[in-house]
């Protein structure tokens, strides 16, 4: 159920609540790169079921992850989309205050087994004509996640 917050008190409470959930739901991941065949098995027809419905992966996602040396986060990307801790609703406006871009930001906290530090995997899903398309996934630090939570007024999903 979407949670829309506007006041500073709501913002601080939301930030504390969401960060506590992210910190208590850390996924430990090992060193493992997915092959293209495993990727296709994880995302049949280039789609995945999420708490908000079916999301289609953008064209050539596996190739983009390979080029950017991110094949090691394919399993975490799958789990971020299928079982996120939180999904934020992000709306960007143009200069006329018309909706220019609408997206959903899926977030899951992860810790690489060989590191102590917790990172956050985000998958950005654009919503175009009611079709949800994942076009970007990557690791972010805690400060970036805090900024995303502060700048997003609506939470679409919380674990």
Q: pLDDT tens digits for 102-131?
A: 899 999 999 888 888 899 999 999 988 888
Give the pLDDT score at 18.
95
> To 10 degrees, the CA torsion angle through 13, 19, 22, 23?
-120
| pLDDT at site 1 | 46
What confidence score (pLDDT) does residue 43 get? 86
Higher pLDDT, 94 or 22: 22
Per-residue pLDDT band at 37 (split at 50, 70, 90): confident
Residue pair 107/121 in contact (Cβ under 8 Å)? The answer is yes
Q: Give 44-81 pLDDT, tens digit per residue.
A: 888 999 999 999 998 877 777 767 656 567 778 889 99
Per-residue pLDDT at 5 exceeds 60: no
Average pLDDT over residues 128-147: 89
Residue 100 confidence (pLDDT) = 62
Rg, Å, the chain Cα set: 16
CB 88 within 8 A of CB 152: yes
- Could you tell me if 23 and 16 are in contact, meaning their C-beta atoms sit under 8 angstroms apart? no
How do the domains of the chain map onto residue ranges?
3-158
pLDDT band at 38 (very low <50, low <70, confident <90, very high): confident
Assess whether pLDDT exceeds 50 at residue 89. Answer: yes
Percent residues over pLDDT 90 in the chain: 41
Tell me what the pLDDT averaged over the chain comes to.
Answer: 83
């Amino acid at each position: 159920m979407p949670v829309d917050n506007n006041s500073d008190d709501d913002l601080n409470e939301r930030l504390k609540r969401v960060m506590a959930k992210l910190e208590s739901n850390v996924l430990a991941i090992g060193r493992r790169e997915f092959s293209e065949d495993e990727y296709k098995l994880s995302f049949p027809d280039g789609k995945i079921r999420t708490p908000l419905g079916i999301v289609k992966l953008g064209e050539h996602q596996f190739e983009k992850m390979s080029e950017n040396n991110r094949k090691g986060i394919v399993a975490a990307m799958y789990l971020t989309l299928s079982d996120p801790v939180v999904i934020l609703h992000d709306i960007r406006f143009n200069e006329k205050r018309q909706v220019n871009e609408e997206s959903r930001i899926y977030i899951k906290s992860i810790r690489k087994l060989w590191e102590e530090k917790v990172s956050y995997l985000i998958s950005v899903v654009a919503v175009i004509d009611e079709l949800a398309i994942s076009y970007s996934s990557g690791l972010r630090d805690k400060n970036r996640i805090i900024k995303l939570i502060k700048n997003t007024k609506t939470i679409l999903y919380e674990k």
